[in-house]
Amino acid sequence: MRLLAKLQEIPYRVVYLLVLVAIVLPFVIELKLPVFVSNETLMAYNTIEQLPDTQIVIFVSSWDAGIKGELWPQTEALMRHLMQRGIKFAIMSQIAQGASFAEEIAERVAKLYNKKYGVDWCNWGFLTGDAAMIQALAKNIPKTVQKDFRGTPLTDIPMMQGIEDISDVSLIIDIDYGPRPEWISFVHGPYGTPIIFGCASIVSSTLFPYIDSGQLAGLLVGVRGATEYESLLGYRGMGHKLIIPQSLAHLLIVILVLLGNIGYLAARKLQ
């Protein structure tokens, strides 16, 4: 019993080491696990599958280095799908660093599908102003954005010809640590434009009510969402690489929680 009670006293350094091993191991030994496609990811996929190619998609990418592991694979998977389907999209960011990350991914994906900047996709860069900016954007895109990330006036970008307001936008995608509900309040509410969110796993529980209410047309949750989307598109990208270490880390945490509770119960019996 004393030995069991010791199970709740594993030093934190050992816990850190075990987490490190769980994360590094899949990069050394190749493991393959089955992928379950959740309803919210399938909804996002089906929404993009049904989009018309006559309008553009606004791709909000408001994440940076800290959350790259979860949101890079999501961004890549969604951009691949849009380019695969020949749907034009405009990147924008609500944080200063976001536009550069999205640009890097778009450039890589564009090479795969032979897509051109300005014709098939463009980057509006960092747009500040939150709710006020969103409202202004919905009413008049060229006036709100004015120039792209590279300093070109929006009026000189071929794919932006004839794009005036939100009625020329078929979908909003917001990839963010915690996507902003203002898109729902000020775009989906008044204009009915469908919205897909991509978020970090840790904040996902706050967004499920919007799926249930039909205000979100899809939701990608962390690396899991990206992996599921990659499966639907039929390729194994960064999501597939990262989900295995995450799986092992989750399993390790569950084992540690169980051991901690066995130790706790044993210690209580000893008292």
Partner 1 sequence: MRGFIIKLLTFLAGLFYFLEFILPAKIGRYNNPLTPYIQPVGEFLIVFWGFAIGVGALSLMVSHYRKIKLKRPGWAYSIVFFISMIAMMIAVYLNSTHPTPKARFMYELLFTHMYMPLGATIFSLLALFMASAAYRGMKIRTLEGAVMVLSAIIVMLGQVPIGLWLTHRLPAKAQLPRISAWILNVANTAAYRAVIFGIAVGAIAMAIRVWLSLEKEMEVK
Least distance to partner 1 from the beta carbon of 38, Å? 6
Q: Which is nearer to partner 1, 151 or 192 (CB)?
A: 151
Q: Which is nearer to partner 1, 53 or 164 (CB)?
A: 164
Taking residue 197's Cβ as centre, other Cβ atoms within 10 Å add up to: 32
Cβ 105 to partner 1 shortest distance, Å: 13
> 154-163 long-range CB contacts below 8 Å, 24 or more apart?
154/124, 157/118, 157/122, 158/118, 158/119, 159/56, 159/88, 159/90, 159/118, 159/119, 159/120, 159/121, 159/122, 160/90, 160/122, 163/56
Q: Which is nearer to partner 1, 54 or 206 (CB)?
A: 206
Structure tokens at 66: 């800290």
Least separation in angstroms between CB 93 and partner 1: 14
Residue 134 to residue 96: CA distance in whole angstroms: 16
Would you state the structure tokens that stand for residue 44, as one six-digit string? 């996002």
- Residues in the site for partner 1, rule: CB under 8 A? 8, 10, 12, 15-16, 18-20, 23, 33-36, 38-39, 64-69, 97, 100, 127-130, 132-133, 135-137, 139-140, 143-144, 151, 190, 201, 204-206, 208-209, 211-212, 221-222, 224, 227, 243-244, 246-254, 256-261, 264-265
CB of 189 to partner 1, least distance (A): 9
Q: Which is nearer to partner 1, 75 or 246 (CB)?
A: 246
Amino acid at 249: A
Of 88 and 222, nearer to partner 1 (C-beta) is 222
CB-based burial label for 13 (10 Å; 0-12, 13-18, 19+): exposed
Which positions ≥6 away from 96 have C-beta within 8 Å?
A: 126
Nearer to partner 1, 84 or 152 (CB): 152
Lookup: tokens for 65: 């280095």
Minimum gap (Å) between residue 87 Cβ and partner 1: 27
Q: Residue 9: helix, strand or coil by DSSP?
A: helix
Check if the beta carbon of residue 219 is closer than 8 Å to that of residue 43. yes
Least distance in angstroms from the C-beta of 176 to partner 1: 14
